[in-house]
Amino acid sequence: MVRLERLRIGHADALLAFERENRAYFARFVPDRGDAYFTDFAARHRALLAEQDAGVCHFHVVLADGGAGDGELVGRVNLVDAAGGSAELGYRIGERAAGRGLATAAVAEVCRSAADAYGLSSLTAVAAVDHPASRAVLVRNGFTETGRTTAAGRPAVTYARSLTPRP
């Protein structure tokens, strides 16, 4: 269904194309990244890789696995601000791939990696109140609601999940 790959320099062109193609779609749910994100994409991509190399963040691309779109970049799933055994989860699936369970599968896979490969013991996440699909992905993956907040000026729900490494 999906395959996660740790972000690398070779993903830059496909990732930029993905972000451009889905810019208006994503802006319906989260604040737009702004023109500078696209103009300065190469430098931003290198900066993300440097953060990843430092162990502060773990960035992944989501690739379709099987079928006509095999290997197509369809999303991203990231663990940011990793410290003290915890990190914050963020994810996005492109419009053409939405509604097919890919976000749920990608989050499940990154939760396994968070425990097994990155040694994390818990994850947090935030989802806008008016984005029920994103909230459902978290609940299906064992996250529990921990409170309310605002994200980019919008009402949002906070979530947490404990992780257990696989034997």
| pLDDT at 104 (0 to 100) | 97
Find out whether 43 and 37 touch, Cβ atoms under 8 Å: no
Residue 57 lies in a domain: yes
How many separate domains does the chain show? 1
| pLDDT at 159 (0 to 100) | 98
Residue 89 amino acid letter: L
Residue 167 lies in a domain: no
Low-confidence ranges of the chain (pLDDT < 50): none
Q: Which domain range does residue 15 map to?
A: 2-162
Find out whether 152 and 31 touch, Cβ atoms under 8 Å: yes
Contacts of 66 (CB under 8 A, 6+ apart): 1
| pLDDT at 165 (0 to 100) | 67
Residue 21 lies in a domain: yes
| pLDDT at 67 (0 to 100) | 61
Find out whether 108 and 138 touch, Cβ atoms under 8 Å: no
| CATH code at position 63 | 3.40.630.30
3-state secondary structure of 64: strand
DSSP for 90-155 reads EEEE-GGGTTSSHHHHHHHHHHHHHHHTT---EEEEEEETT-HHHHHHHHHTT-EEEEEEEETTEE
| pLDDT at 80 (0 to 100) | 97
